Structure 1
Amino acid sequence: MSSHSPSSSQVTLHSKLTAVSSKPNGSGKTHHELSALDLAMAQHTLHMVLYYRDHQDVFFESFGLDWWRQSLSEVLTMYPTVTGRLLEQGHHVNWQVSCNDTGVRVVKATVDATLSQWLQSASASQEALLVSWDHMPLDPTTWSPYQIQISNFKEGGVAIGISCTHMLADLTCLASFFKSWTLVHRNLPITNPPSFTPLPFTPKPLSNGDAKPPPPPPQPTMQTKDMGKATFKFSSSTMKQCLSNFHDICPNATPFDFLCALFWTRISHLKPLKNNDQTLCSLSICIDFRKRLLKAPIPFGYFGNALHFTKLSLENKDLGNVVSAVNRHLAGLEEEEIWSAMERLGSSNRCMYGAELTCVSMEETLPYEAMFSDNEKPVHVSCHVGNVAGEGLIMVMPSCEEGLARAVTVMLPHEELAELIKDEAILQLDPTTLFADI
């Protein structure tokens, strides 16, 4: 490790405190039951880290946290589930959130490296130190299901990490919460007020003879032991050229269509024992359905899980064919399929990500709009889903560069990730590789 490469010992946790709402919502007020989709996410956690360079001294010059206290307290008033606690309602019913203004756990830390050194050299396991997370205890009533960590870098810059159980939110929610926080900090109205109105479908009630549903299992920390992680950033000009190459085959192809197809085909190539040379491994594609529901629309500010997993299988591994197939599959997705999948969800004891190779579209997730000052957007945003197992996970999201630029975060078994990082079909697109944990 070079002298400029960050190490685990360079992240120092200083203290924990609790941030509460500026206006209490009323102790004991109970939120609605979690949806079947929320419960299906019980085995997973979410982690998002936003990096800011602090060019205008927006944050702190010496270590201190006064800059965020008032705005965070104000925005928490609008998000009562963030400051609440999980509880069970009755003996045969599902989990709820008690909106009791208990507060959100906040950890303050320092990093003994500059932000530039960190972004150039840190691994995924080192980046995990920038998010705070505790396992869910047997009694979750005193446990903070959301946790925030604010880490100050040498010579300026800050990383703000937020973690939560996936039962309570998806990544669109976390990005929306961040944006609302920054707007409140700048004394601007929030653009997508949170909505907590339940989805139309809830878990089917249990009969008297059914066993009580198990509580969500204790959640793992940010990085699972047998999986490695890396992020590839592709420029807007590269994406424009790639889409141009397939214009005759698929004129409506999007950056997600291309990158989903590229990484699907290249990862399938690394799984020779499970797939012959003519067949791709099956792919589960995860999309946000907030803007796809027309017959029973939900607001974009819906605060909960609004994700649909749809399966795609192909035999032809030609990249152009795969790009076109992904595009057609998502364009042809019917609203009825989404609601039907919601109705079929019953058990929370499942692994939603990675049991088969999963690709997540984060085109509706806009964390780069979270700016604590005018025109000072994050220089990088990392997203992570905890407890991914099996075949692996691909996450495609916008990048800090405007236009068609995209970042792809991949979680795979270590030996497969080591090969993927050397893959010529990916390297010829000249990506910037960050947080490679191999």
Structure 2
Amino acid sequence: MVLEEEIEVYDVRLSSVGPGRATGSDVFHSPGGLDLAMKLHYLRVVYFFDSEAAQDLTIMKIKDAMFTLFNPYFITCGRFRRSESGRPFIKCNDCGARFIEANCNKTLHQWLATQDWPLYKFLVSHQVIGPDLSFSPPVLLQVTKFKCGGISLGLSWAHVLGDPLSASEFMNSWGQVMNNLGPKKLDNIPRPVPTSGQPGPEKDPVSAKRIDPVSDHWIPANNNKMDTFSFHLTSSQMNYLQAQIWGPSLAQTPPFESLCAMIWSCVARARPGSEPKIVTVCRPDPNNRANDIIGNNQMICKVEAGSECCIVDTNLSVLASMLADQGVDERKQIEEEIERDEGVSDFFVYGANLTFLDLEETNVYGLQLKGHKPTFVYYTLQGVGDEGAVLVYPWPKGSTKNNGVDGKFVTMILAEDEMVKVKSQLKLNGLLLEGN
């Protein structure tokens, strides 16, 4: 493993890039209730391309494509303000996204071989919005050149702009511009201030947690120090897991639910006396993605095992079936709760309960440079609450494939003092190899 002091990301340069044409004066975008519920979360994505894909890719070419991309995505170049009532909105003033250039003293292969996930903080900005809203860009992009000629593209995406599918579409559209194809047209921005409808019966959502006001520094405070760990599951391991849970039965849940059931059980064993009886599952809404490609539209489903249920003793097939079939989508309750306070109160979703984020349908590897897909893509979250979050997305297709089941990549964000226990449980159940 390469020690942190041996990794050097140097020659860091900062600039800004915005729309190629002026947006106009007095253009405002008002995030909806679900957007504001996610405002304390940030998606961090790093795309890795080898030297063949990055050949002749200059900073000027990257910026030129960004100028074109930001014409329809102009709200991502604005800055937050507050209305007289205190509700946040975006002033679309073309201030731009922050653009970071850097170099690394390692080759792409050396970097990927370390599998030291905390080091990835050097390849993507971890800046959050605030404490000065008017100077905080919601999007930051970092280009890091490795000494072999490969590059990484790091995206810092404020979740208030949109869910992971929105962020993925943003980057994939940039790839289309790089390949001389126009970016997608956005039909849902800018949005006006939502009209206050009749709120339903007051029923606090379980999937979103209200916290003390954070003012203009948009990051939740944790009681525990959080740790991040990632691992690759081969297709053989996924097949073994499915067989372990379901045996020869044909009535299996998809791999995502089976994998999350195992992780749920492992986390419960690491929390004796306080096992998570309620979890949250977030995934794209298949019925709400026509032209609405920016915004928080993902399903936010609570799955409740019941107070009398012992997660550790519950059969994994039962947990998997609960994750697949018993989720209750709480988006409406979350939105009503936000609007009841006119968008002023502070909430968080990821880590309010143990949260499973399904990125299977997010087209993680859709960004292409000169016809080349990324060698690897890394996703993580910032701003996760104490209960933790687990991200699951596909391993590159064709890398490891067996019996039609692709491998998976998992990123876990849990309290530091329980991560060792969870990893031990994952090894006992065959999901982690001894070297991990």
TM-score between both structures, scaled by the size of structure 2: 0.83
Superposed, 1:117-136 pairs within 5 Å as 117-136=110-129
**How many residues end up aligned between the 2 structures?**
407
For 1:38-84, what per-residue CA distance to the aligned partner results, in whole angstroms no more than 9, with x for missing partners?
A: 11122222211111123244355xxx512312111111111011111
Q: Which residue of 2 aligns with 1:188?
A: 181
> Which amino acid letter does the alignment assign opposite residue 162 of structure 2?
A
Q: Which residue of 1 aligns with 2:205?
A: none
1:328 positional shift = 1.7
> What is the alpha-carbon distance in structure 1 between the residues aligned to residue 177 and residue 110 of structure 2?
31
Superposed, 1:318-329 pairs within 5 Å as 318-329=315-326
> What is the alpha-carbon distance in structure 2 between the residues aligned to residue 178 and residue 253 of structure 1?
31
Q: Is the 8 A contact 2:281 2:323 kept in 1?
A: no
> Which of the numbers 336, 346, 349 marks the counterpart of 1:349?
346
1:113 positional shift = 1.1
1:139 positional shift = 3.5
> Which amino acid letter does the alignment assign opposite residue 97 of structure 2?
V
238-247 or 363-372, which deviates more: 238-247
> What is the alpha-carbon distance in structure 1 between the residues aligned to residue 268 and residue 374 of structure 2?
33
Q: Is the alpha carbon distance of 1:433 and 1:227 closer, same or farther for their aligned partners in structure 2, counting shifts above 3 Å? A: farther
> Which amino acid letter does the alignment assign opposite residue 305 of structure 1?
N
34-43 or 341-350, which deviates more: 341-350
1:175 positional shift = 0.8
> Which of the numbers 10, 13, 20 marks the counterpart of 1:12?
10
Superposed, 1:272-311 pairs within 5 Å as 272-275=272-275, 281-289=277-285, 291-292=286-287, 297=288, 299=290, 301-311=292-302
> Which of the numbers 375, 380, 386 marks the counterpart of 1:379?
375
Could you tell me which runs of 5 or more consecutive residues in structure 2 were left unpaired when the two chains were aligned.
200-211, 399-404
> What is the alpha-carbon distance in structure 1 between the residues aligned to residue 24 and residue 301 of structure 2?
40
> What is the alpha-carbon distance in structure 1 between the residues aligned to residue 46 and residue 187 of structure 2?
21
> What is the alpha-carbon distance in structure 1 between the residues aligned to residue 70 and residue 395 of structure 2?
27
Q: Is the alpha carbon distance of 1:22 and 1:328 closer, same or farther for their aligned partners in structure 2, counting shifts above 3 Å? A: same
1:365 positional shift = 1.5
Q: Is the 8 A contact 1:195 1:299 kept in 2?
A: no
> What is the alpha-carbon distance in structure 1 between the residues aligned to residue 119 and residue 335 of structure 2?
36
1:180 positional shift = 0.2
For 1:211-248, what per-residue CA distance to the aligned partner results, in whole angstroms no more than 9, with x for missing partners?
A: xx967542459x99711111121123432443355266
Superposed, 1:33-432 pairs within 5 Å as 33-58=30-55, 60=57, 65-89=59-83, 91-92=84-85, 94-190=87-183, 193=186, 195-196=188-189, 198=191, 216-219=215-218, 226-244=225-243, 246=246, 251-275=251-275, 281-289=277-285, 291-292=286-287, 297=288, 299=290, 301-314=292-305, 315=309, 317-330=314-327, 338-346=331-339, 348-374=345-371, 376-402=372-398, 404-425=406-427, 428-429=430-431
Could you say what the CA RMSD is over the residues aligned between the two structures, in angstroms?
A: 3.2
> What is the alpha-carbon distance in structure 1 between the residues aligned to residue 237 and residue 11 of structure 2?
39
Q: Secondary structure at the match of 1:229?
A: strand
> Which amino acid letter does the alignment assign opposite residue 360 of structure 2?
E
For 1:138-181, what per-residue CA distance to the aligned partner results, in whole angstroms no more than 9, with x for missing partners?
A: 44223212111111112121111111322222221111111000
Q: Secondary structure at the match of 1:317?
A: coil
Q: Is the alpha carbon distance of 1:203 and 1:122 closer, same or farther for their aligned partners in structure 2, counting shifts above 3 Å? A: farther
> What is the alpha-carbon distance in structure 1 between the residues aligned to residue 16 and residue 159 of structure 2?
21
Q: Secondary structure at the match of 1:159?
A: strand
Q: Is the 8 A contact 1:253 1:327 kept in 2?
A: yes
355-364 or 97-106, which deviates more: 355-364
For 1:181-220, what per-residue CA distance to the aligned partner results, in whole angstroms no more than 9, with x for missing partners?
A: 00110012446756337599666799xxxxxx96754245
1:427 positional shift = 6.0
> What is the alpha-carbon distance in structure 2 between the residues aligned to residue 199 and residue 105 of structure 1?
26
> Which amino acid letter does the alignment assign opposite residue 398 of structure 1?
P
TM-score between both structures, scaled by the size of structure 1: 0.82
Q: Is the 8 A contact 2:229 2:411 kept in 1?
A: yes
> What is the alpha-carbon distance in structure 2 between the residues aligned to residue 262 and residue 192 of structure 1?
41
> Which amino acid letter does the alignment assign opposite residue 131 of structure 1?
V
Q: Is the alpha carbon distance of 1:13 and 1:87 closer, same or farther for their aligned partners in structure 2, counting shifts above 3 Å? A: farther
Q: Is the 8 A contact 1:124 1:230 kept in 2?
A: yes
Q: Is the alpha carbon distance of 1:142 and 1:57 closer, same or farther for their aligned partners in structure 2, counting shifts above 3 Å? A: closer
Q: Is the 8 A contact 1:179 1:370 kept in 2?
A: yes
Q: Secondary structure at the match of 1:428?
A: coil
Identity %: 23
> What is the alpha-carbon distance in structure 2 between the residues aligned to residue 112 and residue 70 of structure 1?
27
